[in-house]
Structures are given as structure tokens and as C-alpha cells.
Amino acid sequence: MAPVDFPNIAGSTNGLLGRDFFHLSPAALEIKTKAPNGVAFTVRGKSQDDKSISGGLEAKYADKASGLALTQAWSTANVVDTKIELDEALTPGLKTEVSTSFLPTSGTKAAKLGIYFRQPSINARAFFDLLKGPSFTGDATVGHDGFLAGAEVGYDVLGGRITKYSAAIGYSVPVYSAAITATNNLSLFSASYYHKVNPAVEAGAKATWNSKSASQVSLEVGTKYAIDSNASAKAKINSAGIASLSYLQTLRPGVKLGLGISVDTQRLQEPAHKLGFSLAFDA
């Protein structure tokens, strides 16, 4: 089995503590359906804190026999996105994709080429921005017996200079994982761990230090409890005193309701708290 890609070396902790899993948007709706010919449709909508609403419509068709997939999306920002993917057509473990976006109102265009290569001990990715720069971003992760090491680099082809670089090391087994990452040109350091205590309880923590802007270390801890096969609850708190709680319930097969609340424990008497919910349909 190939190791995880570079952004997911600390993926278990990030997934447990991630903001999107706490349903903190004032309202979020997601509907997924699949046509008889295999075309999958996804409609997403989310209300923002400034009371605006963002959303999009996406259609995806995948031919498993050839490994070819086509995705097209149109968002409320009037951005038209197209992605063409070709999986394992040339050699096992190799995937290529071309992504384009177009903004009709301004004529702004973007085109990117992505190359992915996965083998039992390595996971490498390369992204080329064909119109802007051109520029290149690549990362790779190697793994052996649970140990992981990865690096990322960005390069401006015309300028002939490195634009960014990051590194990470980690250890991951099914019961627990730990990772240390250094991103933003090795200026933002994070140490994290994740522990699956038992089939119903998960716990994790993450400490972050920005060497350029902060002298203190920020800390975030969280846990998840699976109440039963259809319901789970999560809680987290950070060193700034922001506490978040969420509850996810499967109402029926294909229908999930999420509820979330965020409380600033340092400003209990002020309107600094958030309450939100999400509703997801999958048919």
C-alpha cells in the first residue's frame, strides 16, 4: 500500500480537528445523486458569516474500464471548472489530470496539469500551472514500516527561483499516528498526534508555532465519540479559548444532519459565538 500524500502526513489529526467537520457555517446543504448512465451530480450551498451564499453544481462521469473521468462544475461566483482525469492508462500507479477554469465576466483563464505516481513505498505528485508563470509545485512522500518522510517544493520556471519549500516526518499505524511538519518555507512548525483509543473514541492534539509572527505556541485538542453506528459527537478547544462542539446524525440511509456550535470562552458576554448546521443527501 502506498504511503499518504504529503499534505496528509498529519491527516488523521487534521481530519479530527478540521473546522469543516464541526458544521460551523450558518447553514450548509449538499445533495448527491447518480443518473442511470453513471453521471454523478453534486449540488452544494453554504451561507457565509457575511450573510452571502456560495454554492455550485458539479457533474462527473467516470469510465472505470478506461480510467477516464470528466468533471464539470459551475459556481455562484460564475466560475466554470473542467477536469479531465486519466488513471493508470500508461503504467500502474500513474494518474494524470488537466484542470481548467474560466470566468466569463472577465475572461480570466487558468490551466493546470497534475501528475500523480503511487507505489508501495512512494507517493509523488507534480503540478504545473500552464498559464501563470509557468510554475511548478511538487511533493513526495516515502514510507517504510509506518515511518513517513516527505517534502514539497515550488519553482518559478521563468524566474528560475524556488518559491516555497516544506518538509514533514511522521509515524502512522492503524491505532495511532504522530507527525512533525515545517511549512511556509520552514517557518510554520506543527507537531500533532492522533490516537484511536477504542472503536468508539478518537483523540488528537496539534501544537503550532510560527517563527516569523508569534512567540507563543498555539495548541488545539479534540476528541470524537461514536455514539452508535448512526450518530457521533466531536469536541475541541484551542489555546485561544475557542471551544467547539458538533453532532452528526444519520437520519436515514443517504441523509445526514450535522449541528455545530463554537463558543469563545474568553468573551462569553459578547456576540462572538457561532451556531450552524449542515444537511447532506446522497441518493
Distance CA 105, CA 239 (A): 43
Contacting residues for 209 by C-beta, under 8 A, at least 6 apart: 188, 189, 190, 216, 217, 218
Torsion angle of alpha carbons 248, 249, 254, 255, nearest 10°? -90
Query: pLDDT at position 62, please?
Result: 93
Cell 478506461 sits at which residue?
66
Helices (H) and strands (E) in the chain, counts: 1, 19
Q: Where are the alpha helices (DSSP H) in the chain?
A: 11-17
Query: pLDDT at position 253, please?
Result: 92
Q: Rounded mean pLDDT of 244-251?
A: 94
Where in the chain are the domains? Answer: 6-282
Comparing C-alpha atoms, which of 125, 117, 123 is closest to residue 143?
123
pLDDT band at 170, cuts 50/70/90? very high
Question: Which CATH fold would you assign to the domain 6-282?
Answer: Porin (2.40.160)
Distance CA 187, CA 150 (A): 16
Query: Model confidence over 111-167: pLDDT tens digits?
Result: 999 999 999 999 999 999 988 878 999 999 999 999 999 999 999 988 889 999 999
Q: Rounded mean pLDDT of 5-34?
A: 87
Q: Rounded mean pLDDT of 92-100?
A: 94
Q: Give the 3-state secondary structure of 64-121.
A: CCCCEEEEEEEECCCCEEEEEEEECCCCCCEEEEEEEEEECCCCEEEEEEEEEEEECC
pLDDT band at 283, cuts 50/70/90? confident
Q: What angle do CA 145, 151, 155 make, to 5 degrees?
A: 155
In this predicted structure, the answer to whether residue 217 has a pLDDT above a threshold of 80 is: yes
Let me know if 145 is exposed, middle or buried by CB neighbors in 10 A (0-12, 13-18, 19+).
exposed
Query: pLDDT at position 9, please?
Result: 96
Mapped onto helix, strand or coil, the DSSP state of residue 259 is: strand
pTM of the entire predicted model: 0.85
Torsion angle of alpha carbons 57, 63, 69, 70, nearest 10°? -50
Contact between 240 and 266 (Cβ < 8 Å): yes
Q: Rounded mean pLDDT of 254-279?
A: 88
